[in-house]
Amino acid sequence: MPGLQGGMSPSAGEFEAARGGLLETYKTSGFFCELMNAMAPSNVDIATICSRLDRFDLPELRRRAASAEAELYNLGITFTVYSDRDAIDRILPFDLIPRVITAPEWDVIERGVTQRVTAINRFLWDIYHDQAILRDGVIPRERVLGNSNFRPGMMGFDVPLGVYVHVNGTDIVRDHEGRFLVLEDNARTPSGVSYVIENRHMMLRVLPDLAAGIRLRAVDEYGTRLQQALVDVAPADIANPQVVLLSPGIYNSAYFEHVFLAREMGVPLVEGRDLIVENRRVFMRTIAGLRPVHSIYRRLNDDFLDPDAFRPDSQLGVRGLIDAWRAGNVTIANAVGTGVADDKAIYAYMPRIIRYYLSEEPILHNVETHICAEPEGLRYTLDHLAELVVKPVGESGGYGLIIGPHASAGEIEEFRAKLLADPANYISQPVIRLSTAPTLCDSGLEARHVDLRPFAVTGRATWVLPGGLSRVALRRGSLVVNSSQGGGSKDTWVLA
């Protein structure tokens, strides 16, 4: 069947999970478990996965895990942590035990992500055109116009098909009741999709006996879907648009992903020095001369795209690129100015944004959020600092935040001073009892907290990659899943 991965159907003898194996000592510790709480008598696939996990030998699993890590390194599937000068090439730790999502669960996620991306694109068009949502008081005007990611130069500019966010990563968590909640939106240059695909390849290579016969939604379409979306939004009068991926270069933390995606799409990987603008048109330097470029998937931030339009000291971008874009001769994905939509302060208004533009209730709800720029939000945060997660609105990767229950009294007081000095830079949220998934540890299978980043690609329509990046906090009790903070990843199995 197209879109599925797996071999022969599970046998009837595998339906009952064998006891006395790895899962016998597995404890959920009161958290919602992605595998055990999803189990139902009618779900043969989950029963089969549990049965097979139970029968695995722990030393054999460790041997295969070591083999997987060695292969990841040898294949160059690495990332960089800028704060660690000794870790230029670091693999993202890979856990062999997959995170399983049932078909009904995935239906909720897929519809919710599609709804959210649709609302974000409507919001971005409005704030750069009519600003009706500001006039109607749905969002305070200063939250948008005073946002550091708002680009006044985008006012009145029509992007092809009204699509500003061509690639979106929605960070989703699950609480103690199993409810899916959106933690944040990533509408600028979301990363991590390469690990989704490579994790699947790795699972099928090193642990085929766990996946055999399980009907899994395939993940290999991503490159084709992304390339088609970039063709969809290219200038309309071009018969065969040339798509390229623009990378900052080899020292970027996600450079492996840039190489991977260019290969998956079958398009050139370029740096700023490989492109030139002449007569408001973009060309790529090749050994055969200049070649026109019509659609650019950029993996560098707005400020570095064009030294004429943004930072004059940028060595990474292309001089004149924004002028060529505004002339309609090239498309940039994601569009300039999308950072307003994934700002953590704007995130708090997403339920209102969805209702305003779509006249629908949100399918996926936000985590409760307090905006410290507002007096009530600041007061609540200061009064409950030891109970909350407080985050800077412009940071990512788990940097600059404090988790109140895990902080010392001294750390809390130090953070209180930062908060009082610049309240507009922060939001706060309750500590969510994140769901867990079985994870291979020294003593066997243990519960570790996970989140999920599904990736949505939008051209003429929105398509959501089945599954997404499941990040796992490898340290016992840790709620921080970011790779830059010691987290790892799992293969995400969406059952057909």
Residues 35-57: tens digit of each pLDDT: 987 655 578 899 899 999 999 98
One domain for residues 403 and 300: no
One domain for residues 96 and 13: yes
Residue 256, in any domain of the structure: yes
Higher pLDDT, 40 or 318: 318
Q: Rounded CA gap, 120 and 128, in Å?
A: 12
Q: Give the pLDDT score at 483.
A: 65
Residue 435, in any domain of the structure: no
End position of a domain, from candidates 358, 379, 408: 358
Q: Rounded CA gap, 109 and 479, in Å?
A: 21
Asked whether the beta carbons of 377 and 371 are under 8 A apart, the reply is yes
Q: Rounded CA gap, 339 and 154, in Å?
A: 12
- Tell me the average pLDDT across 172-185: 94
Domain tally for the chain? 3
One domain for residues 199 and 230: no
DSSP class of residue 495 equals B
Asked whether the beta carbons of 358 and 118 are under 8 A apart, the reply is yes
Confidence of residue 22 (pLDDT cuts 50, 70, 90): confident
One domain for residues 213 and 253: no
Number of Cβ within 10 Å of residue 85's Cβ equals 7
One domain for residues 233 and 336: yes
Spell out the alpha helix ranges (H) of 359-449.
375-383, 409-421
**Lowest mean pLDDT across 8-17, 319-328, 362-371:** 8-17
**Residue 36, CA distances (Å) to 26, 99, 101, 208, 227 in order:** 10, 11, 11, 21, 38
Residue 203, in any domain of the structure: yes
Assign residue 148 the CATH number of its domain: 3.40.50.11290
Q: Give the pLDDT score at 10.
A: 42
The model's pLDDT over 253-271, given as tens digits with 9 standing for 90+, comes to 889 999 999 999 999 999 9
Q: Give the pLDDT score at 4.
A: 60
- Per cent of the chain over pLDDT 90 is 74
Among residues 193, 152, 149, 145, the alpha carbon closest in space to that of 169 is found at 193
Q: Return the SS3 of 325.
A: helix
- Winning range, highest mean pLDDT, from 61-65, 121-125, 203-207: 121-125
Beta-strand pair 488-494/289-292 = unpaired
One domain for residues 228 and 324: yes
One domain for residues 277 and 141: yes
User: Any idea which residue has 């079958």 for tokens?
Assistant: 266
Residue 448, in any domain of the structure: no
- Tell me the average pLDDT across 123-142: 96
Number of Cβ within 10 Å of residue 84's Cβ equals 10
Q: Give the pLDDT score at 238.
A: 92
**Lowest mean pLDDT across 57-61, 330-334, 450-454:** 57-61
**Lowest mean pLDDT across 90-99, 259-268, 312-321, 369-378:** 90-99
Residues in Cβ contact with 267 at an 8 Å cutoff, skipping those fewer than 6 apart: 227, 242, 243, 244, 245, 297
Q: Rounded CA gap, 156 and 134, in Å?
A: 16
Q: Rounded CA gap, 307 and 309, in Å?
A: 5
- Tell me the average pLDDT across 129-154: 95
**Residue 272 structure tokens:** 């700023």
Q: Return the SS3 of 33.
A: strand
Q: Give the pLDDT score at 85.
A: 54
Residue 437, in any domain of the structure: no
Asked whether the beta carbons of 80 and 256 are under 8 A apart, the reply is no
Confidence of residue 3 (pLDDT cuts 50, 70, 90): low
End position of a domain, from candidates 358, 389, 413: 358
pLDDT over 80 (residue 17): no
Q: Rounded CA gap, 392 and 386, in Å?
A: 16
The model's pLDDT over 415-470, given as tens digits with 9 standing for 90+, comes to 999 999 999 889 999 989 999 999 999 889 999 999 999 999 999 999 999 999 99
Q: Give the pLDDT score at 412.
A: 94
Residue 290, in any domain of the structure: yes
The distance of Cα 355 from the centroid of its chain, to the nearest Å, equals 24
One domain for residues 404 and 468: no
Asked whether the beta carbons of 370 and 155 are under 8 A apart, the reply is no
What's the chain's average pLDDT? 90
Q: Give the pLDDT score at 345.
A: 85
Residue 445, in any domain of the structure: no
End position of a domain, from candidates 303, 331, 358: 358
One domain for residues 290 and 193: no
pLDDT over 50 (residue 14): no
pLDDT over 90 (residue 139): yes
Q: Rounded CA gap, 457 and 314, in Å?
A: 28
One domain for residues 158 and 179: no
Q: Which domain holds residue 351?
A: 110-164+224-358
Please list the residues that pair with 429 across neighbouring strands: 389
pLDDT over 50 (residue 298): yes
Residue 441, in any domain of the structure: no
One domain for residues 288 and 377: no
Assign residue 401 the CATH number of its domain: 3.30.1490.270
One domain for residues 307 and 179: no
Scored b (16 or more CB within 10 A) or e, 401-426 reads bbbbeebeeeeeeebeeebeeebebb
The model's pLDDT over 86-110, given as tens digits with 9 standing for 90+, comes to 555 667 789 999 999 999 999 999 9
Residues 404/406/409/414 CA torsion (nearest 10 deg): -60
User: Any idea which residue has 């940097």 for tokens?
Assistant: 399
The distance of Cα 358 from the centroid of its chain, to the nearest Å, equals 23
